[in-house]
Structure formats: structure tokens, C-alpha cells
Amino acid sequence: MNYQHILESIYDEIRPFEKEGKQADYIPALAKVNPDQFGICLTTIGGTSYKLGSAETRFSIQSISKVFSLAYALGILGDDIWRRVGKEPSGTAFNSLVQLEFEHGIPRNPFINAGALVVADILLEHLDNPEDDYLRFVREISGNPTIDYNIEVATSERESGYLNAAIANLLKYHKNINGDIEKVLGFYFKMCSVEMTCCDLSHAFLAFANHRKPFSFSSVNLTASQVKRINAIMQTCGFYDEAGEFSFLVGLPGKSGVGGGISAICPLRYSVTVWSPRLNKKGNSIMGIKALELLTTKTKESIF
């Protein structure tokens, strides 16, 4: 498969969409990002990478971080994690309060904001140095020891994060946050602020693409069965209330972030990350989704 040629042809085809949408300007620090950037990196199970555009430019991974935090928490609690967070698609916006109130403080899944806040609380409860431990895990799984938090982004999100604060308080009311709300919010925003490149993320997601290889990083150890279940949640819940559309168009498990990144896997074949800051109304990268739709169409490689 000539992946490099395919990536180049994809970029030519999606260029008409390069001015559609806008970056996540409700987060002040992200509003400063140049929206007219595009990068993609595909890494095969064999370790060969193919890249195009701004694939080596760091960006805030935002909700893609929730895959890493889920993996960490699942490694700690095992199936007990599902007592506090569900496994179902939300069907509502990623920051919905209505659904959380209706379902008595149990978030639908770990990838909406409410679910990720619960996961952050779990990590704070069980790790001695959660910020250091989480960052060590991300650095190891990506193979890049220079990855770090972006404090400006984390601070910007906290200063404008009124809705997330409301979600955290509602979770606390329903006794589904055990720790201090400010500490949970601060850790959550820091995890979202991590900056990585398409190549970093593509390498990191190989661990989820190749479930036949032991998943063992720092203190995070998962069975092949647990890795496959994370992939299943990515398939059904990775794109908020656009998960069905992404599954229909692309046919790969994946996770998006409002920083404009999308990471996806084709099990036992490759992992791929695409980045373009302009988002649609659901909070997903317009050019990113178009690129991945064309990728699975041209390669005829998907889970279906």
C-alpha cells in the first residue's frame, strides 16, 4: 500500500474545505491558533510512518487525552471503573448538563466532559503524583520525552470553564466526585492542555491498534481484552454526538479533540492522526473527518 501517495491525493481533494469552520475560540488560548494548518501522520504496525503538512507541529490534544486517562484508570480499577461511568454513546453535546442530571450523576461514557472529570478524580485518588505520573505515561506511550503540559492553555480553560465547573459540582452533588473540585478541574484541564504532534499521537495510538502486543507502560498495564474494549468505546463514543456519523463515514475507532486533532486506528494495520483546527458545529475537525473518510475509501481498510 503506497500510503504516502494516498495521503498526498487526499490533501489535494480536501483543499476546497480548508476555509470551512473555525477554531475553538471559546477557549481564549486556542483562539490564537492559526486555523489554516493541516497535518497528518500514519504509522503502520510495522513502525513505518508517512506524514504530510504540519505533522510535526505541536497542538493541544484536548479530548484525545481522555483515551490516555481512561487507559490509566482502567489499569488501576479494572471493571470497577464502570460503576462510576457508563459505556453508552451520549447523543448530546460533550458538555451537556441535562443528561447528567437526568441520569443522577453517572456520565454516559468516559469521553464526554462529565465522564472525563470522573476519570480525573479516580486518578487523583489513586496516584501519589498524578500530574507527573500521567505525563510520564503519555511521554512513554508516544516515545517522546519532551511532551509537556501547556500551562497557558490549562489556565485559559480554567478561567473560562464555567460549564465544566458546573458539571463538576453536579457530579459532586451526586457523590460521583470524591476529591476536591478545584483539584479535579485543574488536573482535567492540564491533561487536556498536553501538546503533541500528529506523529507523536500516531505513535502513541499504535498501542491501541496492536492489541496482540502487550500494553505495558510505566505503571499502566492492560490486557488485550481491555485494549479492545477501549477501542469499542472509541468507536461508539469518540466523537460526542457525531459518533454515528463518523462511524458511517470513516469506519475506524477514534477520538477527536477541540484542538482540531483526530486520532484513529485500523486494528492490526495502522494508527493515524490528522490535525486541522477548523471545527464543525459538533466540535470535530472538518478537514480531519474528510481526510479520514477518504483514507478508508482509498485504502479499503476499515473495521467493516
- Give 3-state DSSP helix, strand, coil % of the chain, rounded to 5: 50, 15, 35
Catalytic option among 33, 188, 247, 250: 188
Please give the Cα distance from 288 to 51 (Å, whole number).
Answer: 14
Q: Which amino acid is at 91?
A: G
- Is there a catalytic annotation at residue 63? yes
Does residue 126 contact residue 76 with C-beta atoms inside 8 Å?
yes
Return the bridge partners of 165, or none.
none
How far is 163 from 294, CA to CA, in rounded Å? Answer: 35
Catalytic hit among 54, 60, 63, 156: 63
247 labelled catalytic = no
In the residue annotation, 240 being an active-site residue is answered as yes
Cell representation of residue 112: 464526554
The values of phi and psi at residue 36, to 5°, are: -95, 55
- Catalytic choice (11, 50, 72, 240): 240
Of 85, 138, 153, 258, catalytic: 258
Residues in the chain: 304
Q: Is 258 a catalytic residue?
A: yes
Distance of CA 186 to the CA centre of its chain: 18
Sign of CA dihedral 114, 146, 265, 297: positive
Query: CA geometry: angle at 230 spanning 226 and 231, to 5°?
Result: 115
Name the DSSP letter for residue 40.
E
Task: List residues with catalytic annotation.
Answer: 63, 66, 188, 240, 258
